[in-house]
């Protein structure tokens, strides 16, 4: 096991380059299973979840070559196994999305029900409903989804019961090789969906409407090879921007697209930040000032992302004033509250644990804290940066799922932080 040791009080200041988006790269890997020629994906982040996905593809027999710059070449023609095992799928929800591409191309697939962070119920019923509508036979056997199809899947009109990013991505991928037209209605609109659609179109797919609530896919017989560069990670960028704001610092992130983080940038301006934006960079300067408290309501894109809720709460803990944070996406995403309270944060929850009221305090106090999920864990790091004394963050394997070399990047920005094993 490893932990992070943070000595608080240092101001975050400097420049860094945005990593590629984990949530995009993982789905691009799944989409590469549809191609009958090699596919190269660049700007891939070096993360535990990425390593797990590569391992999963290897288990299926897919040939994967990774160079020293994390360019990943995938050749799916070598696939010789159609079962994605529990031991790998349980650790990462995105791995479930290999089901549809294997089914669409090879007519069969068997994938374990997914795992991932313990942040509430994230069912796959919308995924399975859509696959059935396209003609797939679905059986549940001992925790596995076993899917089969006779011949090509058929295009269908599919209306999602609720906003689902994974479901939208999964069915969009699957429909690329289906016979006829597929209409997806009530789709999620996240930038990662647009990135996936552009990738598939570059291989020969015919997808229109990605980034809107309605996506139309005209099925094609096959996809060819190609190359694609992963978009920047808007959640990683947002995390470092919030860390700089919380510490009264100054940061410039290169390779970041402001259009992917509009909701956050508006809130950071409300908190007192000066922003300088270009097409591929974000610069934030707090001029040494304490941030003002900002209230948020999480919402699907383009609203405020649930994946930045914990980080903004950490900033609010030491902000000037009081703020209300309402979580509308996941029902169990305030697990960081108790850990922040160990550091002297003043936070109260409503009876349903969907709304938190944060009263900013003059300072937090360093303490031993425990990470409970990916984004909650990084909120504790931000709290440690502004706390008096030493903060020890335990169970940081959660952080390593989504943040590449976090301690090195923060060190380069002036933080006193180090990684220790025990």
Nearest to 3 by CA among 410, 368, 376: 368
Q: Report whether 56 contacts 86 (CB < 8 A).
A: no
Q: What is the mean pLDDT of residues 64-75?
A: 95
pLDDT at position 118:
40
Q: What is the pLDDT of residue 115?
A: 54
pLDDT at 421: 87
- Listed in sequence order, the residues at least 6 apart from 76 whose beta carbon sits closer than 8 Å to its beta carbon are 32, 33, 34, 35, 36, 39, 62, 105
pLDDT tens for each residue of 213-258 = 999 999 999 999 999 999 999 999 999 999 999 999 999 999 999 9
Report whether 326 contacts 296 (CB < 8 A): yes
Q: How confident is the model at residue 105 (pLDDT cuts 50, 70, 90)?
A: very high
User: What is the DSSP pairing of strand 281-285 with strand 274-278?
Assistant: antiparallel
Q: E strand or H helix at 421, and its extent? A: strand 416-421
Mean pLDDT of 351-380: 91
Phi, psi at 243, each rounded to 5°: -60, -40
Rounded to whole angstroms, the Cα distance separating 193 from 212 reads 10
Q: What pLDDT does residue 143 have?
A: 82
pLDDT tens per residue, range 158-213? 999 998 999 999 999 999 999 999 999 999 999 999 999 999 999 999 999 999 99
List helix spans (H) across 318-391: 336-341, 374-386
Residue 422's pLDDT band, with cuts at 50, 70 and 90, is confident
For the full predicted model, state whether its pTM sits above 0.85.
yes
State pLDDT tens for residues 312-360. 999 999 999 999 999 998 777 888 999 999 999 999 998 778 899 999 9
Active site residue: 81, 117, 187, 317, which one? 117
Supply the pLDDT for residue 234.
97
Q: Is 317 a catalytic residue?
A: no
């Amino acid at each position: 096991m490893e932990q992070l040791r943070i000595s608080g009080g240092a101001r975050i200041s400097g420049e860094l380059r945005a990593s590629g988006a984990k949530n995009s790269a993982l789905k691009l890997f799944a989409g590469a299973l549809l191609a009958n020629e090699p596919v190269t994906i660049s700007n891939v982040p070096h993360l535990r979840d990425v390593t797990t996905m590569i391992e999963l593809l290897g288990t299926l027999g897919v040939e994967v070559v990774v160079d020293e710059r994390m360019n990943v070449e995938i050749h799916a023609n070598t696939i010789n196994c159609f079962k994605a095992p529990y031991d790998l799928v349980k650790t990462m929800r995105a791995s479930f999305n290999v089901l549809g591409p294997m089914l669409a191309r090879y007519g069969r697939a068997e994938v374990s029900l997914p795992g991932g962070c313990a942040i509430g119920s994230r069912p796959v019923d919308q995924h399975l409903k859509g696959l059935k509508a396209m003609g797939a036979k679905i059986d549940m056997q001992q925790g596995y989804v076993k899917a089969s199809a006779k011949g090509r899947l058929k295009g269908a009109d599919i209306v999602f019961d609720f906003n689902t990013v994974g479901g939208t991505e999964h069915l969009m991928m699957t429909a690329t090789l289906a016979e006829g037209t597929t209409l997806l209605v009530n789709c999620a609109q996240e930038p990662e969906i647009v990135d996936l659609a552009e990738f598939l179109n570059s291989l020969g797919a015919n997808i229109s409407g990605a980034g809107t609530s309605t996506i139309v896919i005209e099925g094609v017989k096959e996809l060819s090879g190609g190359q694609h560069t992963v978009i920047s990670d808007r959640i990683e960028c947002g995390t470092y921007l919030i860390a700089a704001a919380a510490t009264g610092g100054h940061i410039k992130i290169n390779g970041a697209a402001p259009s992917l983080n509009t909701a956050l940038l508006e809130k950071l301006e409300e908190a007192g930040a000066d922003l300088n934006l270009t097409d591929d960079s974000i610069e934030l300067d707090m001029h040494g000032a304490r941030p003002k408290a900002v209230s948020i309501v999480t919402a699907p894109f383009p609203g405020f992302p649930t994946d930045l809720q914990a980080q903004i709460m950490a900033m609010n803990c030491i902000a000037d004033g009081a703020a209300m944070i309402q979580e509308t996406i996941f029902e169990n995403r305030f697990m960081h509250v108790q850990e922040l309270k160990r550091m002297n944060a003043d936070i109260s929850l409503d009876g349903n644990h969907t709304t938190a009221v944060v009263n900013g305090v003059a300072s937090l106090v360093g303490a031993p804290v425990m990470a409970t999920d990916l984004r909650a864990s990084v909120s504790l790091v931000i709290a440690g940066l502004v706390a008096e004394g030493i903060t020890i963050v335990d169970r940081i394997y959660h952080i390593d799922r989504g943040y590449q070399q976090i301690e090195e990047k923060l060190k380069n920005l002036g933080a006193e932080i180090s990684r220790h094993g025990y």
